[in-house]
Amino acid sequence: MGATGSVGQNTLDLIARAPDDYEVVALTGARNILQLASDARRLNAQIAVTACEDLLDDLRAALDGSGIETAAGAAAIIEAAQRPADWIMSAIVGAAGLAPGLAALAQGTTLALANKESLVCAGVLLLDTARRHGATILPVDSEHSAIFQALVGEDMAAVERIIITASGGAFRDWPIEKLAQATLSEASSHPNWDMGQRITIDSASMFNKAMEVIETHEFFDVLPDQIEVLVHPQSLVHALVGFHDGALMAHVGPPDMRHAIGYALNHPQRAKLPVERLDLAAIGRLDFSHPDMRRWPALDLARQTIARGGLAGAVFNAAKETALDGFIDGRLKFTQMAEVVATVLDALDSTGGHIDATMTLDNVLQTDHLARKAAQVAIDNRAG
């Protein structure tokens, strides 16, 4: 799911290297029909699905004569996720990945989870669904894969703290006063990782790390006070787990998503992966520092979101996605994204019941919808 994106393409790269080991059931994408069709042919998928109904004819034309089934729309992606498969990659970007992720878990499969938004919006629902259907979730976000690997064979009761690292993104060394003027192209370049545009901008604002703090809380069931974020410009130590005997287990590896994807693909084995072997002597040093909360207010918003509980994560994510659209469309300044998210969290927490509702898919989607509307109003107020 999300085969045409950055994580999706890295996943297909690993699969294409060992074609005899895999049988590809379904590939899904959105607007990039040519990529989707050529990958479906190359990997001999049973079905190719685009999220965009208006592009179904294009997909059919691109796959003409191949014998590969085609389908389009959000419901068709859910149906693809219900096709029996041993392993499903969840690499759609945004809350759109939630319903297909739940559908995949309901067939009791292994879900490799890159789509962090689904954990942020509905962590309890996702984990409960996995438990009820005997499904396994393997984290693919590099920090969470790193934590997961550091915890192999360990007792969670012995964990004191978890440290996740952040490169600091595009604006780590900018004067804070200049951030309001940051342009889209400046925010869209990452010093170390090559990723989709949205997560790259989220790295510059630290909304990505904020999401990952929530993701850590949801997935590993640790309290916010036990989660630390450190700025680590080299992006080589992805996370560290601290135990109550004082030991810190660090995961060190190249900034290449094929490591975390490959770990989830081969779990519980480790396979040989085509990633760089680090030359630590050549690297020479690893730096760490505390993030400046004035530069990155998103980190504090993540902690507020965890403290609010309930459906606050769905509000946080929807407001963040809408604010990001606003920045990409030129309606919001870079620094106003955090203001919009803070405004929406306050608004929906005080207008009765949205955040306290039970966590069902319907309630999450409804809260997501309301938060997007509230964020739109907050953006219009600023743009006007």
| Helix H or strand E segment including 345 | helix 336-350
Q: Minimum Å distance from CB 143 to Mg ion?
A: 5
The one among 117, 141, 215, 349 contacting Mg ion by CB under 5 A: 141
The Cα–Cα gap between 52 and 189 comes to 28
The one among 11, 59, 116, 253 contacting ligand NAD by CB under 6 A: 116
Q: Give the residue with the Cβ less far from ligand NAD, 141 or 349.
A: 141
Asked if 71 touches ligand NAD (CB under 6 A), the answer is: no
Distances (CA, A) of 244 to 161, 165, 241: 9, 20, 10
**340 and 261 Cβ atoms separated by less than 8 Å:** no
The one among 11, 110, 115, 129 contacting ligand NAD by CB under 6 A: 115
Q: Give the residue with the Cβ less far from Mg ion, 50 or 142.
A: 142
Asked if 265 touches ligand NAD (CB under 6 A), the answer is: no
Specify the 3-state DSSP secondary structure of 247: coil
Asked if 51 touches ligand NAD (CB under 6 A), the answer is: yes
| Helix H or strand E segment including 7 | helix 6-17
Q: Give the distance between the most distant pair of CA atoms in the chain.
A: 62
Q: Give the side-chain half-sphere CA count within 13 A for 361.
A: 13
Both tokens of 324, joined, read 């990001």
Q: Which does 322 bind (CB under 5 to 8 A by kind): ligand NAD, Mg ion, none?
A: none
Binding mask 110-139 for Mg ion (x = CB under 5 A): ------------------------------
The one among 91, 112, 315, 344 contacting ligand NAD by CB under 6 A: 91
Q: Which does 77 bind (CB under 5 to 8 A by kind): Mg ion, ligand NAD, none?
A: ligand NAD
Nearest to 302 by CA among 208, 173, 189, 171: 208
Q: What sign has the CA pseudo-torsion 163, 164, 167, 171?
A: negative
The Cα–Cα gap between 200 and 210 comes to 13
Q: Give the residue with the Cβ less far from Mg ion, 200 or 363.
A: 200
Nearest to 29 by CA among 73, 88, 63: 73
| Helix H or strand E segment including 69 | strand 69-72
The one among 15, 92, 348, 378 contacting ligand NAD by CB under 6 A: 92
Asked if 321 touches Mg ion (CB under 5 A), the answer is: no
Candidate segments 39-47, 190-198, 342-350, 357-365, binder of ligand NAD by CB under 6 A: 190-198
Nearest to 300 by CA among 342, 340, 333: 342
Alpha helix ranges (H) inside 206-291: 207-220, 257-266, 280-283
Q: Give the residue with the Cβ less far from Mg ion, 142 or 335.
A: 142
| Residue facing Mg ion at closest CB distance | 141
Both tokens of 323, joined, read 């604010």
**189 and 200 Cβ atoms separated by less than 8 Å:** yes
Q: Give the residue with the Cβ less far from ligand NAD, 99 or 347.
A: 99
Buried b (16+ CB within 10 A) or exposed e, 116-127: bbbbbbbbbbbb
Candidate segments 2-10, 246-254, 275-283, 342-350, binder of ligand NAD by CB under 6 A: 2-10
Asked if 146 touches ligand NAD (CB under 6 A), the answer is: no
Asked if 89 touches ligand NAD (CB under 6 A), the answer is: no
The one among 257, 264, 338, 374 contacting ligand NAD by CB under 6 A: 257
Asked if 4 touches ligand NAD (CB under 6 A), the answer is: yes
Q: Which residues bind ligand NAD (CB under 6 A)?
A: 2-8, 29-30, 51, 77, 91-93, 96, 114-117, 141, 193, 195-196, 198-199, 257
Q: Which residues bind Mg ion (CB under 5 A)?
A: 141-143
